[in-house]
Amino acid sequence: MLKIGIAGIGFMGMIHYLAYQNIPGVKVVAFCEKYNQARLAGDWTTIKGNFGPQGTMMDMSPFACYTELADMVADPNVDMVDVCLPPNQHAEATIMALKGGKHVFCEKPIALSAAEGTAMAQTAAETGKILNIGHVLPFFPAYKFLIDAKKDGRWGKVLGGNFFRVTADPKWLVHYYDLDIVGGPMLDLHVHDAHFIRYFFGMPKAVQGVGRCRKENVPEYFNVQFLYDDPSIVVTATSGAIMQAGRPFTFGFEVHFEKATVLCDLYADLPLTVLNEDGTVTKPELPACSDTFPFEQELTEAKRSIETGVKSEILDCSLASDSVILCHKEIEAIMTRKQVMI
């Protein structure tokens, strides 16, 4: 039984808790929350996100509850610390937990800088503990479908595509547009697509883009091109926040293979759709995807890596650090309106 301590009772902490309920061989045994004592006492009713359920009242009596992370790390009943804190706290919390003898699962982004990500990875190597970074997108059935199609080569070479991820202004996140705390839409929202693009297509040689900014150096809404040595590979992404609260959170893709195009918008009326070279259109059946299903798959993969001692390819630290590097290069490209080399 892998025993989990969740650091941070916010939206992701709640989603991870719910996901763990459906994973055999794991048990949440502890929570740490320093700033919101009502949540540590069981009032999760103020928790909300841009998808999924809103928080409810919780019976916290089965769990060890801490206000200081160091105390939870010292708990011998905790095997793995699940870091669901604001991004500016990821590095410090992760390094503390690793040095305290715990495996760590850390929500994306790995940190707000690649240097912090490197320090986290080095600490994991030094302590012999497993560090996984929670980039959940590859575990959504539609994105897993893309990965499988590329691996088996059913439609030939991948030629590129467009990825999109747009939300209404998340006013419940007080520091959302602060690059030193959350990271704005670039490092909170678009980092999902940056990570998938890096994983699926490899690291581009350069980026260029345009965008509106909320304040200096904080892109609010943007379009980015990823440039590769192979000119036939055309990859773009659109992401950010708009100010109209009625805008539903939406994300998806249009990916081009030599012999097919695959489309999906996971929050609009466009299920996974394949446009075949003979003109036919198919809609492959995918596993039912509840709000927690992708997280269940992701956390199961983290569990597997701990049990086997084999690092996860998708949850790897270097891949996560590369996605942060990409995001910072994209910010530079947007601000300068110039092509930026990686």
What are the CA-CA distances from residue 119 to residues 123, 247, 255 (Å)?
A: 6, 38, 34
Q: Hey, which CATH number is domain 137-294+323-341, 3.20.20.80, 3.30.360.10, 1.10.3720.10, 3.40.47.10? A: 3.30.360.10
Query: How many CA atoms lie within 13 Å of 103's alpha carbon, on the beta-carbon side?
Result: 21
Which long-range contacts (C-beta less than 8 Å, at least 24 apart) are formed by 299-302?
Answer: 299/16, 299/19, 299/20, 299/23, 299/26, 299/105, 300/23, 301/132, 301/139, 302/80, 302/105, 302/130, 302/132, 302/134
Cβ(47)–Cβ(81) under 8 Å? no
Reported confidence tier of residue 337, pLDDT bands at 50, 70, 90 = very high
What are the CA-CA distances from residue 285 to residues 141, 144, 278, 293 (Å)?
A: 10, 13, 20, 16
Fold category of 2-134 in CATH? Rossmann fold (3.40.50)
Determine the pLDDT at residue 216.
Answer: 82
| CA dist., res. 66 & res. 125, Å (int) | 27
Residue 280: is it exposed, middle or buried by C-beta count within 10 angstroms (0-12/13-18/19+)?
Answer: exposed
Q: What is the mean pLDDT of residues 10-30?
A: 97
- Among 117, 127, 201, 128, smallest CA distance to 159 is for 201
Q: Which amino acid is at 268?
A: A
Tokens of 86: 């604001």
Residue pLDDT, tens place only, 242-286: 998 887 888 999 999 999 999 999 776 789 999 999 999 999 999
Written as one string, the DSSP assignment of 203-248 is --SEEEEEEEEEETTEEEEEEEEEE-SSTT-EEEEEEEEES-TTPP
Whole-structure pTM value: 0.96
Residue pLDDT, tens place only, 152-193: 999 999 999 999 999 999 888 889 999 999 999 999 999 999
Determine the pLDDT at residue 253.
Answer: 98
Query: What residue segments make up the domains of the chain, in order of their start?
Result: 2-134, 137-294+323-341
Report the relative pairing of strands 340-341 and 206-215 from DSSP bridges.
Answer: antiparallel
Cβ(216)–Cβ(186) under 8 Å? no
Q: Is the pLDDT of residue 237 over 80?
A: yes
Identify any residues that bridge with 31 across adjacent strands, giving them in sequence order: 6, 65
Reported confidence tier of residue 30, pLDDT bands at 50, 70, 90 = very high
Could you list the beta-strand ranges (E) of the chain: 2-7, 26-32, 64-66, 80-83, 103-107, 131-134, 158-168, 206-215, 218-227, 234-242, 250-257, 260-265, 270-276, 281-282, 340-341
Tokens of 226: 């990823």
